[in-house]
Structure 1
């Protein structure tokens, strides 16, 4: 356990929906770390630390650690006491010039400011802490700070930066074998993917975190995963599963006395019951939550609670009170730069004005919410805003504008599987098409609305469908009669012509056109096939040429290194090197003969290659992470696709003076795509280009890029290469993303 304890806070939010059943999007943030002790055990620990501190009168690093332990122990239950001990620890650390103590103090201060939504101050303290940890090469501390960066970026809706920070932390935790912190970071990463609407990737990360938490018997981790899975279910409208998961997490948190996280779960349950129109029960949960959060200084929490209270007033049709609380929520959100909550508040203000028959005022708020949600990548809110704006145009009878917005909002809702938004979109479409006179599409849209809704319809909806069905059938009959009349007129006119001659000419014309078409298509197809075969043959020759070039080059370099070890009488090292070299060479030669190889074989070759590089230089920290949804024994991929980019990173990414060189390789399987990312913390692609001859290119990576294009056609699936400078995300190094064509052999 670290000297500054295990601390967490939780973040929740919700979105508005224009349909009758409001969908919830509630997200827990599992931060820093968590601990599995009861309140009674925690109080015993505090008493023990106080006694130990009273007996230890010497002003040394031990006293600093005791003060920090007390500060972290009070962090959840009494922030004032925590800050008193933290201030004493800071003063003594400065007097002793105790670097680790300074780092820990800055870290805890950063958490404190984050809880109060002072993100600029929070980042300031985290950066100061990182410098201290780096100066003493404390890997655990460095990883914790990267996690803290990720959380702070997440709170400001900077999702790409958050994911990149979490990946850095995961690399270090994997190196340290720290499964507890790795599970924590996996949960945080899943939360970001949930926010971005990438639910499949989020679920994969949650399940991976759950696997680690169960393995180390971390009940906290299991509870947090259940909470976050509950949030996903709530967002998709599956309220029963959401309640089930929330209650499991609530039961555990109430036993352990985690007041802040308990308050967040109570909020979530309140929002779910509000969506189910059980308003009294919702109010009960909100009141319990407010009682637990009054002692905390979280402005973000205050903004959310005001929004929740406003929701109840909307349900009671007390719109003036609802607007009052929504505006309070908006003001606080803007003050702390919480763009996500600001967009939600703006949307809710628009919703109330729409109910008050003020479409223009509502539209202005919806547009502002749309712009913010689009800017921060908040897709489900963006979908809701598009549909809401479309609804304001219905009263103005601007159906074309409404149609364009509705179709766009519906597309996003279908991508994210947002049931409420899909229902609302089809309801709006039925109104638009009816007013445009397209009764067929209006009838179809209302049928889709019916399918998405509950099986038992109210009288109003049944009457709507019956009316549209009658109008649609009447219009069809009218059009059918017109067609029959036109056909009869044509028949009468054609009887005066020479039927035999017309039929004969018509038959010969058809035969001629068919013959010409068949010959033309055959010629075009043959030429295209020949060109494709030529291209494929050229690429195969280039691949074989590349392998024939790489193998002697690789052998020569490896033997040179081995010779140097022998001359320097490094017997053990040379034997180890020779063993790894022979294994790698055998794998490369075996794989080069086959069209596809097992993913496990390819990864073994990469690990051996990286191990050889480390044995020679001992300069690289590398990780190879494979998502648990990938069975390495089933996936077959083309050989030598990943290795050239790893080699390129080793040869060109780092300067000779750079320390702490890291290469992280991760494979993810999502939406039937096998994706491999290769990340380094080197000088970046742009700097690497400027250091080399402008006309010089990596032959292996160039041919591999061309090879993937051909392989994607051969495998009939997507294959792609993307190389980005991480400087675009205010980070150091290069990120290569490969979408790898594959086959799955189950037998």
Structure 2
């Protein structure tokens, strides 16, 4: 089974996809194909060849899945024809071509309906839901997930049930209902552990970690990401490793350790480029741009944001587009081009409101508030104009604070409190400034305590040390074998 996971900056989703083929040597598959005479066996071997290549060479995967489809069409194998169409959809989803993935899944769905194949139908409904979630259409995604869940429950398919629980949980996460999201994800994690499903377990850890990060619990988030990374490395799951490396990098960035953040971003980017994952490449570009921004190399940051935006636009990924707009707004603010900064922030906000991304809405509210505060530093404004901008800043920061509290997102409460502190201080309302200063300090200490920072560093150090030790032991065993 292939799992696609949420990346932190916007967050990924769970895919119930392939039957679990054993790990195959491609040469042995070709040998079997040369000997095979049964039509179903020949079809199955083409599918296994595609499966072999899918995680690292999507073009080759597509070629062999297409061969399986053509064979099924020639031999009038109806069920196999539908399955080949489904697998071709997986490849398009892997590379971020979600509209094409939906087209293949929908065609497969019609084929499965004709032959009344409930298993095939359940897989199609779930994967169509996933593609719609990537495109930012959560209401449509939820409707497909609920249909899939009913089918999996009727089939008593525990893995299918777990996947649907995750996908529904992640829709709740998108909407800022983190407690409900964690409930669904934890239930799914328990099912995967009971079934000893390592890929499912890894994917659950990533998505649970993503929610903890949004809530401001980076220690719990990092623990989840490292648990997932260990599983993915043991399985050789390049896609999963790429997601985990990126998420660990984001935790480092959040803690201000840019050197380690960029190290992990480049690890993720290298894998994404290797396997042709356009979505992953775009997300890495966006996050690398963020590091350049914090280092005040803003021209370089804009270059990476634009590269990311171009890919997200080609993929039709609204969440990715909104994230890039937001980051470009921050870059133009740095250069003092406040009009262009506000334009990009408003474009980002519009998309996030369409998607009902409450965490994202709170983020942009805070950024607009900060922009209005920055504008008041201009010597060209008179006192009345400054007051007008500060009132706008207070309005946006208050909306960000209310939303942060509503979704229990501590980082957003912290940022909003800081903006309110700054705005009220500039207005000379020191009583309100003190109120929000206390709120800011309280939330900051919860997020960035020295004990938590130390614990985060120790977690990664321990993981890296364990990894090196395993490599040493592997080399030692190889030397001993070579001597024999």
Does the alignment reach a TM-score above 0.5? yes
- The number of equivalent residue pairs is 403
> Paired residue for 1:364?
395
Q: Show the counterpart of 1:507.
A: none
The 1-side partners of 2:243 and 2:65 are apart by 29
1:179 aligns with 2:198: yes
Match of 2:245 in 1: 226
TM-aligned CA deviation for residue 87 of structure 1: 2.2
Match of 2:178 among 159, 170, 178: 159
2:82 matches 1:64: yes
Confirm whether residue 48 of structure 1 aligns to residue 81 of structure 2. no
Report whether the alignment pairs 1:417 with 2:448. yes
Cα 1:417–1:29, aligned 2, differ >3 Å: closer, same or farther? farther
Contact 1:380 1:418 in 2 (8 A): no
- Measured after TM superposition, the shift of residue 59 of structure 1 is 5.4
CA contact (8 A) 1:110 1:124 kept: yes
Task: Report 1:31-110 matches (<5 A).
Answer: 31-32=14-15, 37=53, 41-57=57-73, 58=76, 60-77=78-95, 78-110=97-129
Structure whose residues are more often helix by fraction: 2
Note closer, same or farther for the CA distance 1:163–1:60 as it changes in structure 2 (3 Å cut).
same
- Structure 2: distance between partners of 1:223 and 1:300: 19
* Deviation sequence 1:670-707 (CA, Å, 0-9, x none): xxxxxxxxxxxxxxxxxxxxxxxxxxxxxxxxxxxxxx
Please list every run of 5 or more consecutive structure 2 residues that lacks an aligned counterpart in the other structure.
18-50, 377-388, 451-484
- The higher-RCO structure (CA 8 Å, 6+ apart) is 2
Equivalent-residue separation in structure 2 for 1:408 and 1:40 (angstroms) = 48
Please give the residue correspondences for 1:614-629 in structure 2 after superposition, counting only pairs within 5 Å.
Answer: none
Taking structure 1 as reference, are residues 412 and 79 closer, same or farther at Cα in structure 2, changes over 3 Å only? Answer: closer
Match in the other structure for 1:259: 278
Report the equivalent of 1:122. 141
C-alpha offsets along residues 421-476 of structure 1, whole Å, 9 cap, x if unaligned?
Answer: xxxxxxxxxxxxxxxxxxxxxxxxxxxxxxxxxxxxxxxxxxxxxxxxxxxxxxxx
Change beyond 3 A, Cα 1:302–1:252: same
CA shift digits 1:364-399 (9 cap, x unpaired): 111111111111111111111112112111133221
Residue-by-residue CA offset, 1:197-234 (whole Å, 9 max, x unaligned): 22222222222222322333333333322211111111
Aligned residue for 1:630? none
Contact 1:260–1:293 (Cα < 8 Å) also in 2: yes
The 1-side partners of 2:223 and 2:364 are apart by 31
Deviation of 1:42 after TM superposition, in Å, equals 2.3
Residue aligning to 1:12: 9
- Cα deviation 1:152-182 (Å, max 9, x = unaligned): 2211121111111111111111122111221
More strand by share: 1
Q: What's 2:421 paired with?
A: 390
Root mean square deviation, CA, Å: 2.3
1:579-637 deviation line (CA, Å, top 9, x unaligned): xxxxxxxxxxxxxxxxxxxxxxxxxxxxxxxxxxxxxxxxxxxxxxxxxxxxxxxxxxx
Q: 1:206 to 1:36 in 2, by over 3 A?
A: farther
Aligned 1:342-353 pairs, distance under 5 A? 342-353=361-372
Q: CA 1:275 to 1:228, structure 2 compared with 1: closer, same or farther past 3 Å?
A: same
Given the superposition, is the C-alpha separation of residues 286 and 103 from structure 1 closer, same or farther in structure 2, using an over 3 Å criterion?
same
SS of structure 2 residue aligned to 1:294: helix
Give distance in 2, aligned partners of 1:104 and 1:165: 19
Query: 1:226-262, CA deviations, whole angstroms, 9 ceiling, x for partnerless residues?
Result: 2111111111111111111111111111121111111
Tell me, in whole angstroms, the C-alpha distance in 1 between the residues paired with 2:217 and 2:82: 44
Paired with 1:229 and 1:272, the residues of 2 have a C-alpha distance of 14
Name the counterpart of 1:279: 298
> In the TM superposition, what is the alpha-carbon distance from 1:37 to its structure 2 partner?
4.6
Unaligned runs of 5+ in 1: 14-27, 420-747
C-alpha distance 182-334 of structure 1, shift in aligned 2 (>3 A)? same
Could you tell me how far apart the structure 2 residues matched to 1:40 and 1:182 are?
21
Bigger radius of gyration? 1
Question: By how many angstroms is 1:9 displaced?
Answer: 5.8
Cα distance in 2, alignment partners of residues 254 and 82 from structure 1: 20
